[in-house]
Amino acid sequence: MPNFELEEEYQDLVDTVRDFADEVIAPVSAKHDEEHSFPYEIVAQMGQMGLFGLPFPEEHGGMGGDYFALSLALEEIARVDQSCAITLEAGVSLGAMPVYRFGTDEQKAKWLPKLASGEALAGFGLTESEAGSDASGTRTTAKLENGEWVINGTKEFITNSGTDITQHVTVTAVTGTSEREDGSVKKEISTIIVPTDTEGFTAEPAYNKVGWNASDTHPLTLKNVRVPEENLLGVRGRGYANFLSILDEGRIAIAALATGAAQGCVDESVRYAKEREQFGRNIGSNQAIQFKIARMQTRAHTARLAYYKAASNMLAGKPFKTEAAIAKLVAGEAAMDNARDATQVFGGYGFMNEFLVSRHYRDSKILEVGEGTTEVQLMLIARELGL
């Protein structure tokens, strides 16, 4: 029979991160959300705890852990603050992981140590106005001239791309074309590391978002940006394919984050239902409230099992693409559904931004969109079924 109990080292990590989330992050969460301010002090402390280095070997400045450890940490942080959680998730999965997976020894030595320590952040520039799920829409170009890539284009919705500690953004760009048998043009898409202090690289003004207000998200402009030829990350022409594999891993992490959000809504609803009195008794004594919260707990529990399974397959070296898609789908919907129900439990107070459930309500919608929409997950699952 499978054992779903966490091993001691994992449980110790959960306990440590939970205490940190409750005692350090939660008290300042509403302030950063209201001010749309990036939580530099929280990021620094997460770095000191080794959270940004959890899945990386010690030789690269990491903690020698694994992706499941990162996922457990993300779940605990997302219970109280999704902005902090996505900053960690994107910093590791989208910023550092591509360098670790596909970088040369020289690139790893140059870029990974600061990313693994949390001293620096990185982003991944994939999405454009006509390209995201559809790579064929990529318009950013990179041409080799005298040993340098000359990059021109724009990117949208890039997390961790404009902070004071962002060291680079890895961008996808068309580096060539070829003709298919039917006469259509196939784009060769590669990934290139662009330091943020490169002339011509501009992080445009931050977005005014519905949620995740304390995370850093910008559109980017690259105008005649020149970087050394050796900044090519991975094999030329394999950039998009490599990023798809990064997304598969990232969906497990996003599922863990979404599970944390779903559980946070449960925890807040239970607390409030025991405290809030109407008609001479607490509202938690009403069966309608009990059943609503019971369904919320069921969603969170199911989401947790789904991402545990996907992570288990990944660590065992088994296929996990479909399991990751299922986990991301189930957890994202659980977070959104639980946020809606938690807001209902809180009534008018649930509509006030200072309450955590209102922030979860605004934050959770993106979990059905970012790093692969719900529809993309359904497409992947259906494809695995042979449809």
Residues 6+ apart with CB under 8 A from 284: 270, 273, 274, 276, 290, 293
CA distances to 242, 267, 275, 290 from 285, rounded to whole Å, are: 52, 16, 11, 7
Q: What angle do CA 134, 234, 172 make, to 5 degrees?
A: 35
Supply the residues annotated as catalytic: 371
Catalogue the long-range contacts made by 38-42 (C-beta closer than 8 Å, 24 or more residues apart).
38/87, 38/163, 38/214, 38/215, 38/216, 39/83, 39/84, 39/87, 39/214, 40/163, 40/164, 40/165, 42/84
Closest CA to 166 of 128, 124, 207: 124
CA distances to 3, 5, 12, 13 from 8, rounded to whole Å, are: 13, 9, 6, 9
Between strands 185-195 and 166-179, the pairing is antiparallel
Helix (H, G, I), strand (E, B) or coil at 121: strand
Catalogue the long-range contacts made by 114-117 (C-beta closer than 8 Å, 24 or more residues apart).
114/61, 114/167, 115/52, 115/91, 115/167, 116/52, 116/53, 116/56, 116/60, 116/61, 116/62, 116/63, 117/47, 117/52, 117/53, 117/61
Read off the amino acid at residue 151. Answer: I
| CA–CA gap between residue 34 and residue 110 (Å, rounded) | 36
| CA–CA gap between residue 311 and residue 254 (Å, rounded) | 12
What tokens appear for 17 in the block? 């991160």
